[in-house]
Amino acid sequence: MLIGHTAQDMETFESDDGYVIVRLDRGDLALESIETACDRHNVDTGAVVSGIGTFSNLNIHYVDRTDLPADRTERNVTLELDGAWEITDVGGVIADGEPHLHVTGFNGDRTVGGHLEAGCEVNVLGEFTIRKIDGLSLTRDPNDHGVSQLTRQ
């Protein structure tokens, strides 16, 4: 089993027009490394517009009900899936420097999707594109159901 790590020496490339490309290698932790790239490149508001790769495990959660109980732990199903996962898409919004990302993965037999959680280790490679959004400052605040939603700062 690999010991995951946030890639302190990961490769990131920033364009003149606000795109940040993140390259991750075997053993790097996907979400944690994207968070590090946001810090490194001062991404306060933005979007992960593209993400592909392979993971050696996939940690996600998703909502499986239409009612919203007050206890958030009753709303979500958490999956911690081992084995090789081909990641076909990662995307989401970055608000107040914090990514909220969703992922779709396939292991040869099963396709799953949901909210990307910490601890997903890159198996072969990971490539992610972040788009900075200047002139807009967003944060997330809980609504009446305790669901974090985007609001302008």
Residue range 30-53, pLDDT digits in tens: 999 999 999 999 999 999 999 999
For 127, the domain range is: 11-152
pLDDT of 78 higher than 80: yes
Q: Is residue 24 part of a domain?
A: yes
Q: Is residue 31 part of a domain?
A: yes
Q: Rg of the chain's alpha carbons, rounded to an integer?
A: 16
Q: Is residue 84 part of a domain?
A: yes
- Residue 121 and residue 4 in contact, taking contact as beta carbons nearer than 8 Å: yes
pTM metric for this prediction: 0.91
Residue 147 confidence (pLDDT):
83
CATH classification of the domain holding 45: 3.30.1330.80
Q: Is residue 4 part of a domain?
A: no
Q: Is residue 130 part of a domain?
A: yes
CA 149 to chain centre: 16
Q: Is residue 1 part of a domain?
A: no
Question: ∠ CA 127-9-19 to the nearest 5 degrees?
Answer: 45
Distances (CA, A) of 1 to 9, 27, 57, 69, 73: 22, 10, 10, 37, 29
Average pLDDT over residues 16-38: 97
pLDDT tens-digit profile of 84-135?
999 999 999 999 999 999 999 999 999 999 999 999 999 999 999 999 999 9
pLDDT band, very low/low/confident/very high, at 2 (cuts 50, 70, 90): very low
User: In total, how many domains does the chain have?
Assistant: 1
Residue 15 confidence (pLDDT):
97
Q: Is residue 6 part of a domain?
A: no
Cα separation, 96 vs 153, whole angstroms: 9
pLDDT of 70 higher than 90: no
Average pLDDT, the chain: 92
Q: Is residue 91 part of a domain?
A: yes
